[in-house]
Amino acid sequence: QVQFVESGGALVQPGGSLKLSCTAPGLTMRDYAIGWFRQAPGKEREGVSCASAGLSDTYYTDSVKGRFTISRDNAKSTVYLEMNSLKPEDTAVYYCGANLMRRRCTDYFINYEYDYWGQGTQVTVSS
């Protein structure tokens, strides 16, 4: 059983920054595509970002391009999502996860195809 753990969420003012962390004890995360998705109240789940195995390519949904950056620290087996210029519409619970059959990011995987994910971390952007 794979258990993902997200952390780093907080209340932040518009224009502020946060850095989310994602770990999965026991999983060699560098071998898999790792995705971030978010769920806001009353809205559908939205794939936000993804890093393919080996960080060979990355994906960002249009609404976060230029503001969010995904990265890996393989020594720590951790994937980060750095979020800058945050907007109220970024408010959501953010989850990270993987499908152990996937090494590359695809639009379908990022939005629908996770088989493991964590409990999520709350990001609230408000003044």
Q: What stretches of the chain show up as alpha helix (H) in DSSP?
A: 107-112
Q: 57-82, pLDDT tens digit by residue?
A: 999 999 999 999 999 998 899 999 99
Pairing mode, if any, of strands 121-125 and 11-12?
parallel
Q: 67-126, pLDDT tens digit by residue?
A: 999 999 988 999 999 999 999 999 999 999 999 999 999 989 999 999 999 999 999 999
The phi and psi torsions of 70 (rounded to 5 degrees) equal -100, 140
C-alpha dihedral sign at 97, 100, 105, 110: negative
Q: Measuring CA to CA, which residue among 53, 54, 123 is closest to residue 89?
A: 123
